Structure 1
Amino acid sequence: MKYNTGCKYFDKWFELCDKQPTSIWNLHLRALILKKIEKQHIYVDVKKVDKLIKTIEKYRPYKLAPVQKFLHCIPYTYLAPGIKAWNEILIESGRGFGKNAYVSDYILGATSNVNGIKGYNVDIVATSEDQAKTSFTDVYNAIGDNTDLQRAYKRTLVEIEFVRTNSKVKYYTSNAKTKDGLRPGAVVFDEIHAYEDYDNIKVFRSALGKVPEPLTIYITTNGYVRGGVLDDLVTEGKECLLEQDLESKLFPFIAVIDRYEEWDDPSLWVKANPMIPYLPILEQEYKDAFRNAKKRPHMKVEFITKRLNFTMEDTDTAVASWEDILATNQEVNWKDFMGCSCVGGVDYASSRDFIGVGLLFKKIVNDNTKYYFKHHTFIVEESLKLVKFKVDLDRAISEGLVTIVPGKTMDPRYLTSWFLNEVKENRYIIEAIATDDYRYELIKDDFNEVGLPLTTVRSGPISHGKIAPIIEKLFADNNLVFGDDMMMRWYTNNVKVVTDGKGNKTYQKQDPERRKTDGFMAFIHAMLKRDSIRIATMSNINKGFKTYTY
């Protein structure tokens, strides 16, 4: 297929995606870019990119491949003059792709007349000095190898400056307390798979904005730290790609094999490292590493994680794939369940932050039993002052999924009012409202006072172990429906399944502070009482059940 985007470097890479195996994420990326061109009229400053590529190929010891030229367009893609289409760039690819070379080449353009912005400093950050110095040293040596560059730059072993624009390049490590006075145009975070928290990132990114066209670049292979910065960014990137989010300012280039089964097919390795076809030595390194991986189990994990960018433990710990979580977004009209039987669920870690409530229905559809969960979240206002949760709460509030409760603790009457209002408006027949023993003791009086049938369910390995295979199958068969509920998608994606030495499974949080699971656990509590639900069929939906009054 031929493309005509107005940028030949976009067109060439888009065409290559049709001709060679490409990660599903980068196919989604292509679709997103085309959509942004159509809807937002984003454009590439082709003159700058042409000049950059000419500079790179003049002063660097290689010619650029189409994928590299494509990626060099992204910092110079705009919504409007001076407003970047993306102000964060994530490049996650297999080892040997040339991520540090990309940064070095970017620096030659960003600090020079190619970019043309005075004082456009570039700070390179990593968790170790050796890693932080990688691209810096690369630029330092490139200048030393070229007389023209030596005239244009001043350089020491700790700072490089393009004289005409007064743009400086420096490198830093993970001591986040000594960076007052930063004034970067761009910040590069190298190998973010090693970052367990955001301390350093917050310090450096908070300095952006003093110089026009601020940019953050994250480069990395996959790693072994789970629940850290990389997982957050990749999750955000995948959500952006799958939902084709035009408003996101994160550009996620995620090169990875799509399934574990692809690891031993050399023809598919290009998905994780699109530079393999252009670098015979790199291809041979992959083949050698593959031979070792087949003989030595510990090398197999290294090969799959670092060379192919695939997280092996994903299939063991995730409640469901992100695609299956998205599949819960099936059209549903909750009025269709008017007068139907259901069970409720309530969960919260603390009465001081998030409280998830919901109602669970089941219905026979084409001989399959489908479960429908109608959810709502209450959030204590005070908790939002303490932690910035990684979810768009403004959007959730506008969509009617979240209510902010004033004060420092939750008044249980908000919860009882929600259930009573659902009964009043929809004549739902609530057979039971499930929660665990601890929550039951805290809210039972308020529920009993208004006649709501609060009951307890066991929580932990025994009950979770029984329900886990059922939950897994519901997701896999797309027989679980949340409707268009971004909060339930977020909750579900925040849950991990932990298996102990006896094979018992429990649902736990990926991150105790920033990733909440209350809505999902309310769903689990309700599922443990699912046998109390009288199945909804089209006949009894239309006829309506007997109405209960609470």
Structure 2
Amino acid sequence: MIQNEHVTYYIDQYKKGEILFNEERKQLVEYLENYVLLLDNVFFDEEKIKNCIKYIDKYFFETQPFQKFLIAFVFLFEQETLPDGEEIISPYFNEFLITLGRGGGKNGWISGVSNFMQTPYHGIAAYDISIVANSEEQAKTSFDEVYNMIVDHQLFKSSETPYEPFKISKTEIVNLDTRSKLKFNTSNAKTKDGGREGCVIFDEIHIYEDSKMVDVKRGGLGKVPHARTFYIGTDGHVREGFMDSQKNRALAILNGKELEDRLFPFICKLDKAEEVNAHVNYQKANPMFHPPLCKYAHVLFKEVHGEFKKLRYNPNGRSEFMTKRMNFPEVDESKVLATWKEILATNREMPDVSQRMCIGGVDYATVKDFAAVGLLFRKGEEYIWKAHSFVREEFLKKSAIKAPIREWHEQGYLTIVDEPSIHPTIIVNWFVEMRERYGLEKVIMDNYRADLLRPYFEAAGIEVEVIKNPRAIHDLLHPRIETIFANELLILGDNPLMRWYINNVAVKVNVSTGKREYIKKDEFTRKTDGFHAFLHALYRADEIVDFDIDEAFDLLDALDF
């Protein structure tokens, strides 16, 4: 097994019980020791590691053990021999996912590493680096830190300092020896094409709704040796977005399912929500709190612990504290339809429901944006919901919705309609097609678009039932919905669109009547149509008989009258 002093020291701290690791970091150690460090063709570039740490210690801040540990793997290399005998050396890990609690120094660390990679110590000419974030303010966080360091240490070329290594402006930092540029961009996939970067850094990735912008910016990699990508950030409340996809990818690596994936997953978080009650566990989410604490960590720890103590008097701040300080997204369960864990539990294989009895549900609030349809089946105590949606192209172009709608269209979860409206025939034709495969009894809808839709359903020979007071069924069905999610009785298959719909629902309690109503968490960026279509069908779920129509006819044929 190959070794590096900083890697050995950090892992030994954990194994001796001197510091606490969360489960993902425990798995990381096992993955490294069982798979990576045993390889014959990998090696640590000790000189680059030493120089990078010395550079950051001198010009930025004193590096902590976990930061040295990370630097070591930035400069872990793989040596390969081509058939013609030529040797190639490249970074073993070319992508890094670094997610930890706010204040953990991820921006400071990437500032120091990125600036070092501009220098001759890194040894690659024209190794351009882009820092990308959702806002200019965030994109400039690390850029400004490098800029200020160069100014503070008088390392920029000017009439007074004509021989210094950097040329700087408010938008670009250039190392004059290597011609390597450091720039920042905002995340706009339509206008920011991939260039010839050696490295791209994506900041605050919890906001990214999909991978499109990442794919565009990474498109320029590979033209410069030793290409690397860094994804950094603290978790957030956006689900089914880029952060979740990267966490799923990381877990596949840590579980030994994707051993050829060259992503280095460094995930720091609480393992359980209740761990926050013992402040010794803060270090699971923020490795800056590993003892002994440096001066910066000592001050930060007092701030974080003070914030936790205030939650006793301001419980509404708990969700933000858990998400940002503990890297453990948490919501007020009294205000949400279901927890994310309960929503994920719907991702189970769809049973065969062909020719089984079902009730249809539709939500068609406006013909100008979304329409949702679905079929509700029952097998024993379980509910099976087969869903689809329709979205107008023109609406997508103008909306502020943060979800990978076009990806879901390509995957078949919804259909983008490039027409002036979502015409009733589109809705009805879906049910007509489903009637050929399943035992569709009738379709339930609310009264908002009933007059528009009913004639088309009747013309197709499909029975329709209209809920006259749709809001009234929210409180009526709430106990059943709580039971369904708490006991994991809903099967959606792997349907990210339905998970998104459900996660967008908030529960509002009328203070005067105590009755519950289902609303959107955010009126402009969330849609809940798919959930309401399910809710309409659930209203008549007790009418669904759990039997196979073909089996029933076979039984009748077998009877001797």
Distance 2:264 2:364 in 1: 34
Structure 1 position 118 matched with structure 2 position 126: yes
Equivalent residue in structure 2 for 1:526, among 520, 525, 537:
537
Pairing partner for 1:322 from 314, 336, 340: 340
Give a deviation string over 1:124-163, Cα, whole Å, max 9, x none.
76654994665225642785599xx997722557464322
The residue that corresponds to 1:465 in the other structure is 475
Structural mapping, 1:124-163, within 5 Å: 128=137, 131=141, 135-137=145-147, 139-140=149-150, 153-154=165-166, 158=170, 160-163=173-176
**Number of residue pairs aligned between Structure 1 and Structure 2:** 522
Moved more, 270-279 or 201-210: 201-210
Single out whichever of 440-449 and 270-279 deviates more from structure 2. Answer: 270-279
Give 1:98 shift: 1.6
The Cα offsets for residues 507-530 of structure 1, whole Å up to 9 and x where unpaired, read as 344566665433222212211222
How much does 1:446 deviate? 0.7
Deviations, residues 443-496 of structure 1 (Å, cap 9, x unaligned): 111101122122223676533233334323322211111123343233333444
Q: Secondary structure at the match of 1:531?
A: helix
With normalisation by structure 1, the TM-score equals 0.72
For residues 493-508 of structure 1, the aligned pairs below 5 Å read 493-499=503-509, 501-502=511-512, 504-508=515-519
Pick closer, same or farther for the CA change 1:181–1:445 going to 2, 3 Å: closer
Give SS of 2:290's match: helix
Q: Secondary structure at the match of 1:438?
A: coil
After TM superposition, the structure 1 = structure 2 runs for residues 221-300 of structure 1, keeping only pairs within 5 Å, are 221=234, 232-241=241-250, 253-280=266-293, 281=295, 282=297, 285-286=300-301, 289-290=304-305, 293-294=308-309, 297-298=313-314
Q: Structure 2: how far apart are the matches of 1:531 and 1:495? A: 24
Counterpart position of 1:492 = 502
CA distance in 1, matches of 2:262, 2:335: 29
Give the aligned partner of residue 377 of structure 2.
Answer: 361
Q: Is 137-146 or 498-507 further displaced after alignment?
A: 137-146
CA distance in 1, matches of 2:354, 2:215: 53
Give CA deviations for 1:394-432 in whole Å, capped at 9, x if unaligned: 57655x544455534334333333323333234x1x333
Match of 1:51 in 2: 48
Q: Does 1:442 align with 2:452?
A: yes
2-side partners of 1:77 and 1:186: how far apart?
16
Aligned equivalents of 2:466, 2:34: Cα separation in 1:
49
Give 1:308 deviation, angstroms: 2.1
Match of 1:414 in 2: 426
Matched, 1:105 2:112: yes
- For the Cα contact (< 8 Å) 2:10–2:66, is it kept in 1? yes
Quick one: distance in 2 between partners of 1:175 and 1:403? Answer: 25
One-letter amino acid of the structure 2 residue matched with residue 54 of structure 1: N
CA contact (8 A) 1:431 1:453 kept: yes
How far apart in 1 are the matches of 2:97 and 2:116? 19
Q: 1:533 to 1:122 in 2, by over 3 A?
A: closer
Q: CA deviation at 1:437?
A: 1.4
Give yes or no for the alignment of 1:347 onto 2:369. Answer: no
Secondary structure of the residue aligned to 2:377 is strand
Question: 8 Å contact 2:363–2:533 — kept in the other structure?
Answer: yes
Displacement, 1:361?
Answer: 1.4
**Equivalent residues of 2:275, 2:281 under 8 A apart:** yes
Q: Distance between the aligned counterparts of 1:501 and 1:69, measured in 2?
A: 53
1:266, distance to aligned residue in structure 2 (A): 2.4
Change (3 A) 1:220 1:485: closer
Residues of 2 paired with 1:516 and 1:36: CA distance? 43
Once the two structures are TM-superposed, the CA of residue 323 in structure 1 deviates from its matched residue by 2.9
Percent of paired sites with the same residue: 29
Moved more, 370-379 or 389-398: 389-398
C-alpha displacement at 1:48, in angstroms? 5.6
Is the alpha carbon distance of 1:175 and 1:345 closer, same or farther for their aligned partners in structure 2, counting shifts above 3 Å? closer
In 2, Cα distance between the equivalents of 1:70 and 1:332? 42
**What CA deviation, in whole Å up to 9, does each residue of 1:153-188 have, x standing for no partner?**
225574643222112335689999x99999865565
* Gap regions ≥5 residues in structure 1: none
Query: Is residue 2:173 matched to residue 1:165?
Result: no
Aligned CA RMSD, in angstroms, stands at: 5.3
The alpha-carbon distance between structure 1 residues 395 and 127, as it changes in their structure 2 partners (threshold 3 A), is closer
